[in-house]
Amino acid sequence: MKNSEPKKCRKFFGLGIPRVKLEELEGKLIVVEGSDGSGRSSQIAQLVDWLETSGHPTVQVGLKRSTLVSKELEEAQQGNILSRTTLSLFYATDFADQLENIILPALKAGFIVLADRYIYTLMARDLARGMDEKWLKNLYGIALVPDAVFYLSVEPEELVQRNLSKSATLDYWESGMDLGLSRDMFDSFLKYQTTIAEVFQKLQKHYNFEIVDANRSIHSVAKELRKKIGALLEEK
């Protein structure tokens, strides 16, 4: 039998990780992006249930979950010594550790890797802090291009409501308090999340990911994600 359809080509964004054989990475890398309160975690939990019941092995990764630096990064964020550069490099270390120790081996073993945020959030945060775009592109040139990226988009006004109803407070970093946009946390949160949404729109044009309207109910967002991921899995 002749296989006329060329296999979808795996790629790194830039220079990549040396000595990785891309053709061996048979699994799928699916990324769910969005701010805190966008429903990311709930959606991923539902996806894992659905995928595993359908017989697909899955693995999850996310920000600040590396063995190497998650604890140290969390501690550093409680203090006042992180600059935008060290914040960026710290998160990049956390990402690289998971990329090499979880994502790549899992893909090689044919797993579906669900990433609760990926380099897009990291880049958006850094760009909102004025980091050099070229520098960031080189830094995250080590990352693998995912098979699908879904950005759960929620209006900042709705985000603020969801965050407050969940924990009755706003997170310092998710409010962008280090940027000095406003002394008022509520104002700062809205301003910062608006900036992040704008950056994501710019990134979307370049990286071509799907924006999912997540102002809707969990159920209808989940349905849309299942439909799209189902189609992706059938491509094989």
Contacting residues toward another protein, per CB under 8 A: 14-19, 67-69, 71-72, 76, 81-83, 85-86, 89-90, 92-93, 96-97, 99-101, 132, 134-135, 138-139, 141-142
> Nearest-5° angle of CA 95, CA 181, CA 150?
40
**96/212 with CB nearer another protein:** 96
d(CA 23, CA 21): 6
d(CA 215, CA 5): 38
Q: Where does residue 88 rank: exposed (0-12), middle (13-18), buried (19+ CB within 10 A)?
A: buried
Least distance (Å) between residue 67 CB and another protein: 6
**76/148 with CB nearer another protein:** 76
Least distance (Å) between residue 151 CB and another protein: 26
**98/195 with CB nearer another protein:** 98
Least distance (Å) between residue 138 CB and another protein: 3
Least distance (Å) between residue 137 CB and another protein: 9
> Tokens 């600040």 identify what position?
64
**20/232 with CB nearer another protein:** 20
**68/218 with CB nearer another protein:** 68
Identity of the amino acid at 145:
V
Least distance (Å) between residue 75 CB and another protein: 8
* b (16+ CB within 10 A) / e for 95-133: bbbbbeebbbebbeeebbbbbbbbbbbbbbbbbbbebee
